[in-house]
A and B are shown apart, each in its own frame.
Chain A
């Protein structure tokens, strides 16, 4: 999508009604609603005389509904009901849900075993949504979208007939079927209550000293060897963190199970896409990452991934996380692990990519830098735990994330350290 289009599009995102209710108070773990009947997971939002309900069937629920393994074909049906209580017709724009949605005939043409015409009639066209919804009417049906497992995040855009009548309803719907890493973490009780250290701007120097005092890098399980640099600091409740990365198009990560291992191997061999592939454990605070997100590009060998650990520090009552981001640029053989992903040695480049990614997704309130990694020149790189070289200016990017869309003009620098101090 055109960047400006994206920016203005996101600028009109509404409050995340359901999720915000939860995040307004204490950090709440995000947990899935079990599989069975997708209608139990339907969410409804209402404003300006329009009510939109949305639900997403899981892989097995879709197969039961349509009699076809749509997920295996990369297709995910989204059920929508749109009710128009206005006195003017409204137009539903499916491109808002998915710019590359599948048409019903396209879905039918992928089902090769049976006569296409029957399939079209029986399964897909009958279920379709229509664009124009008259006053007082409601329409419901399925839109066929590109598959997103874990959490399905999408907008439902409705245009009125006149200028400035354009409403966006944003949904984050969890789809059962994956074993997502952060589902099993009880963030609220990660540390005993008396171990939290909360600081505000009056203690800025103390806070910076504490953050810069974290280890430079991740370690192995024994804590004996250093690996990739800890080049990220995030400030946000667990739900802010989750919403931020989902909105920016990052995928959640599965825990290691027999099924996820098999999916990883299959995608490794075929070079195909397994967007939720488990990520190896790296250690900070003596434990593996609390949560990992990844953004696949063309295939499993080319993706960005980041790991986060919640620290016991908080800033104005909001938890501070330490993290590590790197970009896989290919695959290579190693003595220890047979194969591993080769990372871009310029880890600052990947860090700055993330900043831009989150600015365009309008998820940041404040940003800045702190030290703590230590300068590593390009011609004297350090190695990570699988022997990949990396170099860095030594700074950690500090990102204060938000559940609400925040226009970038409201993004303010946090004024901690200036990586360009010597030049300015």
Chain B
């Protein structure tokens, strides 16, 4: 057989195979689970405000697959179920935009998955998504329900629901939901915070004493053995666990679900002789550019409210990620940047009640950086920051500086 004959036969064989595959796709009908998604609706979270009752629930990946017949998570889509009752007499309108300003309209979602189905299958799917989507208009006295297709967010789903209506002027009822999603257990859910410290270890103090106790907290994390230099711990937060979690979710930090195996424990930083109680992540611009934060509950309370210690690491270079593992990261050597970014992040997400600077951290000049046990260099201005987190949203004009230490003479702040 000549080379040309061989190539011809191969091309025909591949072509036939492709045709066969294509025709198989074009014959596939669209199917989904006819049974109503009762478990999703049963566990809905309910809020009532003004003239409106809103029920919200988020299907897990498997539930969504059953309801819609396609793997929505593969395209980064997460459906959110809402039911809204308008107890008033005026017509109201819900804004899907308030849940996600880049939400996916139903026809777009169907178009993304059309190739798996026959033309009729695609049209059936389009109809299904259209009928299952949340209507915007809610007549007086009416109840509407349906799905909004949002971007996928691992862990607890945090979103707003804004409902507008005209009374004397345009009025908005603003709801904020934090909804747990089946199939994801965040790392902090596995920590028993109540038993981390004994009653003797816990200190409940006023601000002046808090200031000196914060100064005494070790400058940096260590490795597991306690003999390797870790990176600075330059952030502290005063907040209940719930308020802190909600503030972080509002600031678009995502929960993680690390398996605390040997590999993780030997690579991560330690404070109070233990690895972080929780790790959060936040994308910042490009995919390789992200922040990671470790959090530890300290034994301190400020007038009854827990104090948390934190370290923000800003990845700037190439890294290898295998699943959720985060290996071979090049960290920004300027640890002040991570801290300053976090201050603003909490401020702009309207969770900052007040803040204070403490000159009690490690000073590492930029010209003579230290190397942490993971091999990444760092330098630090020696400033630490304490943030008091608001329980509910607070206008960014209301954040105040508690004026502990002056930052005037500190370089690179």
Contact = CB atoms under 8 A, between A and B. Distances in A.
A329 B348 contact: no
Interface in B149-190: 160, 162, 164, 166, 169-172, 174, 176
A100 B285 contact: yes
A352 B401 contact: no
Given A2-B350, A4-B160, A329-B107, A352 B136 contact: yes
A360 B172 CA distance: 12
Contacts of A345: 107
A297 B97 contact: no
Interface in B113-172: 130, 136-137, 139, 160, 162, 164, 166, 169-172
A118 interface: no
B396 interface: yes
Interface stretch (A52-60, A124-132, A175-183, A226-234): A124-132
B393 A409 contact: no
B400 A162 contact: yes
A166 B139 contact: no
Nearest to B332: A105
B203 interface: no
B401 A161 contact: yes
A130 B350 contact: no
B281 interface: no
Contact of A346 (B130, B164, B396, B413): B130
A14 interface: no
A164 B95 contact: no
A5 B400 CA distance: 17
A349 interface: yes
A165 B97 CA distance: 31
A357 interface: yes
B174 A4 contact: yes
Given A4-B393, A132-B408, A349-B107, A99 B348 contact: yes
Nearest to A354: B97
A89 interface: yes
Interface stretch (B64-72, B229-237, B338-346): B338-346
B98 interface: yes
Contacts of A378: 130
Contact of B139 (A100, A164, A424): A424
B277 interface: no
A103 interface: yes
B79 interface: no
A417 B121 CA distance: 38
A408 B366 CA distance: 48
A106 B408 contact: no
B171 A344 contact: no
Contact of B397 (A94, A161, A166, A329): A166
A410 B172 CA distance: 12
Contacts of B107: 329, 344-346, 349
A360 B103 CA distance: 15
A93 B97 contact: no
A46 to B, nearest CB: 20
B397 A163 contact: yes
Given A2-B349, A125-B366, A356-B95, A89 B332 contact: no
B51 interface: no
Contacts of A247: none
Interface string A319-354: 000000001011000000000001011100110110
B73 interface: no
B160 A131 contact: no
A106 B350 CA distance: 27
A344 B289 contact: no
Contacts of B171: 409
A1 B348 contact: yes
B105 A349 contact: yes
A3 B98 contact: yes
B204 interface: no
Given A132-B407, A346-B105, A357 B97 contact: yes
Contact of B350 (A8, A161, A297): A8
Given A109-B316, A420-B91, A360 B101 contact: yes
Contacts of A103: 314, 316, 332, 334, 337, 341
A72 to B, nearest CB: 14
A146 interface: yes
A302 B164 CA distance: 28
Nearest to B109: A329
The size class of the interface chain B forms with chain A is 35 or more
A8 B98 CA distance: 14
Nearest to B354: A163
Nearest to A3: B160
A104 interface: yes
B111 A342 contact: yes
A272 interface: no
Nearest to A344: B107
Contacts of B316: 103, 105-106, 109
B314 to A, nearest CB: 7
A125 B314 CA distance: 16
B313 to A, nearest CB: 12
B275 interface: no
A252 B289 CA distance: 27
A9 interface: yes
Contacts of B340: 131
A102 interface: yes
A96 to B, nearest CB: 7
A153 interface: no
B397 A12 contact: yes
B347 interface: yes
A319 to B, nearest CB: 25
B97 A356 contact: yes
B317 interface: yes
A256 interface: no
A105 B333 contact: yes
A1 B139 contact: no
B96 interface: yes
B2 interface: no
A163 B398 contact: yes
B10 interface: no
Given A95-B344, A100-B284, A344 B397 contact: no
Given A330-B112, A349-B107, 14 more contacts: A4-B176, A89-B408, A91-B401, A93-B348, A95-B344, A106-B314, A161-B400, A166-B397, A329-B105, A353-B97, A356-B98, A409-B169, A410-B169, A412-B169
8 contacts: A5-B250, A93-B344, A104-B334, A329-B107, A330-B111, A346-B105, A356-B98, A357-B97
Interface of B: 91, 95-98, 101-102, 105-108, 111-112, 130, 136-137, 139, 160, 162, 164, 166, 169-172, 174, 176, 250-252, 284-286, 289, 314, 316-317, 330, 332-334, 337, 340-341, 344-345, 347-350, 366, 393, 395-401, 403, 407-408, 412-413
Closest 10 pairs (CB-CB, A-B) = A356-B97, A95-B344, A100-B285, A166-B397, A329-B108, A106-B316, A103-B337, A356-B95, A5-B350, A2-B349
Interface of A: 1-5, 8-9, 12, 74, 89, 91, 93-96, 99-100, 102-106, 109, 125, 130-132, 134, 146, 159, 161-166, 297, 302, 327, 329-330, 342, 344-346, 349-350, 352-353, 356-357, 359-360, 378, 408-413, 420, 423-424
